[in-house]
Structure 1
């Protein structure tokens, strides 16, 4: 009886030793390290904090800007703004002769406090920043237009506006490799601006204009003001 028990115990102990040894050997053979970096890159997906190339200064796009293209871009603004000489204010102010004028310069128009207190003049850089994102330019503005994310669209629009009663000289072409100043990028991730959105058409905005002398507006595209 004792011999049988000893035999069984020996087999159990031997099996345990073999199992332990096999585990140690397998662990060494298939040893793995923590991957660095973790995971795999996915095409088209940016990591948090990773940005694209800095946008060229608006002066770069103004060199090839076209007033005819700008007139087409202005159609996005026409539901709220006029731009002819002596034209009436609507939801936004009349924009004739706006380039080069002080911000919130149209006498008698009910601008928002955010825009009235902003200061400065509508030069090329200032107007470009406003058109890119009114809400980023003047937090608290009543203008609901999301902005023009394409800098060439902004340049075309400004050249068209400049031809309507203004004579602001074009800035010189920027030096090669010159990037836009920090904070002036039109990237939605930087400025918080959404992608271009359609504005109200005349039929949609008419009920808003009835009984209203003004919204908030400044030389810009869309509604606020």
Structure 2
């Protein structure tokens, strides 16, 4: 093979290498791989459950305790919501709901001339302070089927104020219930312990 033929072979090989290089560069420019900001794989770690106990809603104090510090004047102002459906004066007419004069300690479903629901009649009993408090919290929840569509009063203090005022709507108001005495912080001693303590 003379030098001319050798040059052609080498030229062909060189041209092929140049073509392969150009194709490689072109492919990298078109299909450039996305490099991650941090090397390796990121695994999402599961957050541990909170160890804090769930918040509990404290039960309100007994109605007798709340009535002892209730504000009758505030209760009177809160009766505005009642007067949409009720009258409060003695001998007042029934409206959407019955007249509320003398309602405290009155038997349920007993006011003359008002057409009570079957649910209210079936409930029976009297409108004691405690029963009024439960009813005003959520009427439909306490007596399902009652005609009273009022959603209720969530504040235990407001309910106590309102009930304290309703109590005054009577010729002979019912006495306030006695609040239970607070429990003693110290445990009661047994007779044998008392003897030891006294020598």
Task: State if a TM-score over 0.5 links the two structures.
Answer: yes
Unaligned runs of 5+ in 2: 1-44, 185-199
- Residue 149 of structure 2 is matched in structure 1 by 144
Return the alpha-carbon distance in structure 2 between the equivalents of residues 145 and 41 of structure 1: 39
Within-5 A mapping of 1:20-31? none
Return the alpha-carbon distance in structure 2 between the equivalents of residues 153 and 174 of structure 1: 21
* Structure possessing the higher relative contact order (Cα contacts under 8 Å, 6 or more residues apart): 1
| Structure 1 runs, 4 residues or longer, greater than 4 Å off | none
How well do the aligned residues superpose, as a CA RMSD in angstroms?
Answer: 2.4
The change in CA–CA distance for 1:83 and 1:176 in structure 2 (over 3 A counts) is: same
TM-score normalised to the size of structure 1?
Answer: 0.57
1:167 is aligned to 2:167: no
- Match for residue 90 of structure 1 among 75, 85, 95: 95
**Number of residue pairs matched by the alignment:** 139
- Residue 74 of structure 1 is matched in structure 2 by 79
1:51 is aligned to 2:51: no
Unaligned runs of 5+ in 1: 1-32, 179-225
Deviation at 1:177, TM superposition (A): 5.9
Return the alpha-carbon distance in structure 1 between the equivalents of residues 148 and 50 of structure 2: 43
Within-5 A mapping of 1:121-140? 121-140=126-145
Deviation at 1:145, TM superposition (A): 0.4
Query: What CA deviation, in whole Å up to 9, does each residue of 1:189-210 have, x standing for no partner?
Result: xxxxxxxxxxxxxxxxxxxxxx
TM-score normalised to the size of structure 2?
Answer: 0.64
Structure in which a larger fraction of residues adopt helix = 2
